Homo-oligomer: A and B are copies of this chain.
Amino acid sequence: MASIPTPQPVPIRLEGIVKRFDHNVKGRIAAVDNVDISVAPGELLTLLGPSGCGKTTTLRMIAGFEHPTEGSIFIGDHDVTRLRANERNIGFVFQNYAIFPHLSVFENVAYGLRVQGRPEAEIRSAVEQVLDLVGLGGYGTQQPHQLSGGEQQRIALARAIVFQPRILMFDEPLSNLDAKLRGQMRGEIRELQKRLGITTVYVTHDQEEAMAISDRIAVMNHGSVVQIDTAEALYARPCNAFMANFIGKSNLLPGQVLQADARGAQVRVLDQTLQCLQAAPEVRAGDAVRVVVRPEQISLAPGGGPGSASVISRTFLGEKTEYQVQAGTATLHAVAYGAGASARLAEGQAVQVVLPAEGNAIIRD
Chain A residues in the interface with B (C-beta under 8 A): 21, 23-26, 48-52, 55-57, 95-96, 135, 138-143, 146-151, 153-154, 171-172, 175-182, 205-208, 211-212, 231-232, 235, 245-249, 294-297, 315-320, 335, 337-339, 356, 359
Contact = CB atoms under 8 A, between A and B. Distances in A.
13 contacts: A25-B138, A50-B180, A51-B151, A51-B176, A56-B148, A178-B205, A178-B206, A179-B207, A207-B318, A231-B316, A231-B317, A296-B320, A296-B338
Contacts of A178: 48-51, 205-207, 246
A35 to B, nearest CB: 16
Contacts of A297: 338-339
A99 to B, nearest CB: 11
Given A23-B142, A51-B151, A249-B319, 12 more contacts: A24-B143, A25-B138, A25-B140, A50-B181, A51-B148, A96-B149, A178-B205, A179-B205, A180-B245, A296-B320, A297-B338, A339-B356
Contact of A335 (B139, B294, B316, B337): B337
Contact of A319 (B52, B179, B294): B294
The 8 closest A-B pairs by CB, nearest first: A51-B150, A178-B205, A24-B141, A95-B149, A175-B175, A337-B337, A235-B318, A296-B319
A338 B356 CA distance: 10
Nearest to A343: B296
**Residue from A147, A175, A177 whose CB has the most chain B CB atoms within 10 Å:** A175
Nearest to A247: B318
A246 B181 CA distance: 10
A182 B51 CA distance: 10
B232 A150 contact: no
A102 to B, nearest CB: 15
B208 A318 contact: yes
Nearest to A152: B96
Contacts of A56: 148-149
B25 A139 contact: yes
Nearest to A179: B207
Contacts of A143: 24
A133 to B, nearest CB: 14
A57 B149 CA distance: 11
A318 B208 CA distance: 8
A196 B100 CA distance: 41
Contact of A51 (B26, B138, B146, B177): B177
A48 B26 CA distance: 39
A56 B153 CA distance: 15
B319 A335 contact: yes
A25 B296 CA distance: 49
A177 B205 contact: yes
Nearest to A317: B211
B138 A52 contact: no
A126 B249 CA distance: 32
Nearest to A135: B51
A205 B51 contact: no
Contacts of A208: 179, 317-318
Contacts of A339: 297, 356, 359
A216 B182 CA distance: 23
Contacts of A249: 319
A313 B180 CA distance: 19
